[in-house]
Amino acid sequence: MMYVSTRGAANLGQFSDVLLMGLAPDGGLAMPESIPTFSPTDIEALRGLSYPDLAYAVMRPFISDIPEADLRALLHATYTEQAFHSPEITPLTPLGDSGLYLLELSNGPSLAFKDMAMQFLGHVFEYTLEKRGQRLNILGATSGDTGSAAEYAMLGKPRVNVFMLSPQGRMSAFQQAQMYGLNEPNIFNIAVEGVFDDCQDLVKEVNGDAEFKQKYDIGAVNSINWARVLAQAVYYFKGYFALGLPAGAEADFSVPSGNFGNVFAGYLAKRMGLPLGRLLVASNENDVLHEFFTTGNYHVRPAAQVAQTSSPSMDIGKASNFERYLYLIAGSDALQTKGWWDEVGASRPVNLQGSAHWDAVQASGFRSGRSTHADRLATIKRIDTQFGRLIDPHTADGVLVGEQFKRPGVPMVCLETALPAKFEETVIEAVGRTPERPARFAGIEKGERFCEVLPNDVAALKAFIAGKLGNSTHS
């Protein structure tokens, strides 16, 4: 399988090449030349597979440059009961007989769904770099959970350094402690004076400097990395099969959405042939995606207009993976996609209303909803009261929208994106008690912090990276 850019650059190479690449040279995102599809018979043959074997079946068509035995070994090393604290890896829990289900994605090392892909990235980075005799300096941005998931995945990986940007003062105390509490030689935490979108833009600016990127072996772990999206598609298959539906029966999924990577992975699974009906995009007050799916107008928000909310991992005004979605909506037309993103880059809206592309959006099965702080508190309290299940504020956004769009006779799977312990303040406000946390995280907020504060300035960031790595090439 060869890869191309959403903006037209061809011949990006195979899976391992785009794994280490981050952004494509033209600023676009890597996509497979075509999306392999499973027939209904193929889909049924996947039922009952263990998580690692299911991951192999789903991911293999996209990964042609890693030998079968090696890829299977990587996936079996990644998806273990020891790492994810459940033999099922992603247990599916019904909420009573409501037809709503929680797909538990938050039992990994950092207690967030990002572990599902990031643990694989840790293993496949190490494997690929070892094969090539290279090193990689990962530059990432996090609104809360990507950072800790990446850092936990890369701990002890001698060929990988992690430079992780986060918005200063905009994560929960638990999230900050998870990241900033790490004192490891290959982990560098940087708090940027700005919002998540500023962090994301800095990553893209550095990636856009080809000379700097090459000199310092800069790679990416944000959901701009194709391997992240691909690994996340697997749990849609796992969640679907766990419902035990008749062959071909539909299920709907509701997904808390900020950067669009998680829900785009569901769309990838659907395009591969999994019988998914609706994919629900659950937004918080930063409702850029909700605005698009209800009006056809995609208008990114400048940093100053990004609200600070109680579901902070979704406090995003510019959804990176949305470019991949519109690329597919445009029929893989890179010229059209580049035109749209030129408009986005100039802070102009892209409006598809009334066009053939809007018809394609409508046909793709996406719907959306929005929630507020009051909605989150009410939903957390109601789910706790009715079903004895405590959920975090992001998952509450997904449950609320899932309830709004629940179809009679069609299961609604809500993705649990983090454990409530990561957002104690909001959960306490909702239910009046402190959520339980795994013993390994007891008292982490009291520990020492290791973090550098930098201005929202690409020159300062480059200087910091260069200073830590020295002025020589690190491959």
pLDDT in tens, 299-331: 999 888 999 999 988 988 999 899 999 999 999
**Distance of alpha carbon 456 from alpha carbon 468, whole angstroms:** 18
Structure tokens at 140: 């990432």
Which residue carries 């850029």 as its tokens?
288
**Distance of alpha carbon 357 from alpha carbon 230, whole angstroms:** 25
- Angle between helix 196-208 and 458-469 (nearest 10): 70
Query: Over 80: is that where the pLDDT of 475 sits?
Result: no
Query: Over 50: is that where the pLDDT of 473 sits?
Result: no
- Span 378-407, mean pLDDT? 97
Structure tokens at 36: 């392999």
Q: How many CB atoms lie within 10 A of CB 20?
A: 20
- Write down the pLDDT at residue 103: 98
- Is pLDDT larger for residue 254 or for residue 441? 254
CA distances from 354 to 107, 334, 348, 351, 359 (A): 43, 21, 18, 9, 8
Q: Closest Cα to residue 184, out of 166, 162, 159, 199?
A: 162
**Active-site residue, selected from the candidate residues 114, 338, 406, 422:** 114
Length of the chain: 475
Find out whether 399 and 254 touch, Cβ atoms under 8 Å.
Answer: yes
Structure tokens at 459: 């020159």
* Predicted structure pTM score: 0.93
Percent of the chain with pLDDT over 70: 99
Query: Over 60: is that where the pLDDT of 142 sits?
Result: yes
Q: How many CB atoms lie within 10 A of CB 44?
A: 13
Can you point out the beta strands (E) in 193-250? 218-219
- Span 415-433, mean pLDDT? 95
**Distance of alpha carbon 286 from alpha carbon 366, whole angstroms:** 18
**In the structure, what pLDDT confidence band is assigned to residue 474 with cuts at 50, 70 and 90?**
very low
Q: How many CB atoms lie within 10 A of CB 361?
A: 18
SS3 473: coil
**Distance of alpha carbon 143 from alpha carbon 170, whole angstroms:** 8
pLDDT tens, position by position, 185-217:
999 999 999 998 899 899 989 988 989 998 999
Query: Over 80: is that where the pLDDT of 399 sits?
Result: yes
Structure tokens at 71: 């890829």
Percent of the chain with pLDDT over 90: 81
DSSP letter, residue 418: B
**Is 114 in the active site?**
yes
**Distance of alpha carbon 78 from alpha carbon 56, whole angstroms:** 12
Q: How far is CA 208 from the centre of its chain?
A: 22
Across the strands, what pairs with 191? 166, 453
Can you point out the beta strands (E) in 159-216? 160-167, 187-192
- Write down the pLDDT at residue 223: 75
DSSP per residue, 102-137: EEE---STTSBTTHHHHHHHHHHHHHHHHHHT--EE
